[in-house]
Chain A
Amino acid sequence: MIEAHEADRLALAARRGDTEALARLYGEFAPAVRAFLRRFTGDSAAADDVLHEVFLHLMEGRGRFRPQGRFRQWLFAAAANAARDHLRKLGNRQRLSATLALTAPRSAPPPDEALAARDAVRRVEAALEDLPPEYGAAFHLRVRDGFSYREMAAITGDPEGTLRSRVYHTLQRLRDHLAAAEARPDARAGSEES
């Protein structure tokens, strides 16, 4: 894992055209930013395009960036802006088909745990499915990437209260979803078969 100040140093080097620095930043941050973009845009291909644009933006030295140990936040903010532009160009703020691939847990736990984890992730994905992208994106930034509401506000440009409300609403939706699944005896068996 790259420390915050090391990330700043690498970012400055990448902006000067250092390809090695760029490759290190890409390897460290691109997967998380791409996951966020997939959540934000609801579309894997769009996430790839926007990710490319964001790192290109970084290399070209565009955008105000002051090294204060906040490169990660800056990068997510650039990603959020680019994703918004992308959606605006599409003229469609509706969620596109949710095509998020289900993924294995990071540390490759035993098969039973892996299955349970996949099932849990599937339930979260299902709960997020019908919500507007802004809700899923806020939830993702808070739960997945661990940003504070203040950082999220800096990233998205939305007020902290709005973001908190979106995260809570999404969590409430997840709770309802889990309760509904619990009430259907065949639901768990069905999801495990798929």
Chain B
Amino acid sequence: MNAGHPTGERLNAYLLEDLDIAERRQVRAHLQACAKCRDTVEKLEVALTAYRDADPGGVDDAALGRLLIARPAPRAPGRRWATVAMAAAAATVIFLGGFWTGQRGAARPVTQGPMPEPNATTDVVRHQPDRNPPTVTFAVADADLLGGLAPRDTTWN
């Protein structure tokens, strides 16, 4: 308080309804007795009420139309689970592919000696995963699905 008048901050709090009941009653009692403060508060109240009640302005009808055109296709029920299942399958294949490759490396250490002559029937089959790892095929195929899933909140629904 300053010379009996509420501070500017207290009057602001009164106008913004930030005071508790006792404080509010105190300020109101002062306003009844003080024409100067009452005048200040009334002018601000008029301005705040006008600002609060002013028409926000409409939105362009075409804006809703543009929004509906831009909307994504509705998601079919269960599509998210299908996507998750596919992603899990891809992850499993990647893991198993890596594990298998690791096993292959461990089963043929470099200290074993000279390489045996290639066997036309068995070695081609045995080397196939190294030349064409399954991880590449699955990771690329599911990139879009994972990308579409990533920004979404999987805990929702």
A56 to B50, CA, bound (A): 32
Distance (whole angstroms) from the CB of A80 to the closest CB of chain B:
16
> In the complex, which residues of chain A have a beta carbon less than 8 angstroms from the beta carbon of B56?
31-32, 34-35, 103
Q: State whether A178 and B43 are in contact (beta carbons under 8 Å apart), knowing that A103-B56, A104-B55, A168-B9 are contacts in the complex.
A: yes
Measured as residues with beta carbon below 8 angstroms from the partner, the interface class of chain B is 35 or more
Q: Which residue of B lies closest to A172 (CB)?
A: B8
By DSSP majority rule, is chain A's interface helix, strand, loop, or mixed? helix
> Per-residue CB proximity of A1-36 to B under 8 Å, as 1/0?
000000000000000110100110011001110110
Q: Count residues of A near B (Cβ-Cβ below 8 Å).
A: 51
Asked if residues B67 and A123 are in contact (CB atoms below 8 Å), the reply is no
> In the complex, which residues of chain B have a beta carbon less than 8 angstroms from the beta carbon of A23?
64, 68
> In the complex, which residues of chain A have a beta carbon less than 8 angstroms from the beta carbon of B9?
168
> Per-residue CB proximity of A150-190 to B under 8 Å, as 1/0?
00000000000000100110011011001000100000000
Q: State whether A61 and B75 are in contact (beta carbons under 8 Å apart), knowing that A101-B57, A174-B44, A175-B8 are contacts in the complex.
A: yes
Within 8 Å of chain B (Cβ to Cβ): is A71? no
Within 8 Å of chain A (Cβ to Cβ): is B108? no
Chain B 35-54 interface residues, beta-carbon cutoff 8 Å to A: 40, 43-44, 46-54
One of A27, A105, A168 near B54 (C-beta < 8 A): A105
> Per-residue CB proximity of A117-141 to B under 8 Å, as 1/0?
1101101100000000000000000
Asked if residues A143 and B48 are in contact (CB atoms below 8 Å), the reply is yes
One of B54, B70, B71, B155 near A117 (C-beta < 8 A): B54
> In the complex, which residues of chain A have a beta carbon less than 8 angstroms from the beta carbon of B12?
167-168, 171-172
> Per-residue CB proximity of B7-28 to A under 8 Å, as 1/0?
0110011011010000000000
Within 8 Å of chain B (Cβ to Cβ): is A144? yes
A107 to B52, CA, bound (A): 12
Asked if residues B53 and A106 are in contact (CB atoms below 8 Å), the reply is yes
Asked if residues B55 and A17 are in contact (CB atoms below 8 Å), the reply is no
Within 8 Å of chain A (Cβ to Cβ): is B126? no
Q: State whether A103 and B71 are in contact (beta carbons under 8 Å apart), knowing that A167-B16, A175-B40, A178-B43 are contacts in the complex.
A: no
A-B contacts, 12 of them at CB < 8 A, read A22-B67, A26-B59, A26-B67, A66-B156, A106-B55, A116-B46, A120-B47, A121-B50, A124-B51, A142-B16, A143-B48, A174-B47
With A17-B73, A17-B75, A52-B67 already in contact, 17 other A-B pairs whose C-beta atoms are closer than 8 Å = A16-B75, A19-B68, A19-B71, A48-B60, A60-B71, A61-B156, A62-B151, A62-B152, A106-B54, A118-B50, A120-B47, A121-B54, A123-B47, A142-B16, A143-B16, A175-B8, A178-B43
Question: Nearest 7 CB-CB pairs, A to B?
Answer: A17-B74, A120-B50, A35-B56, A31-B56, A103-B55, A117-B50, A124-B51
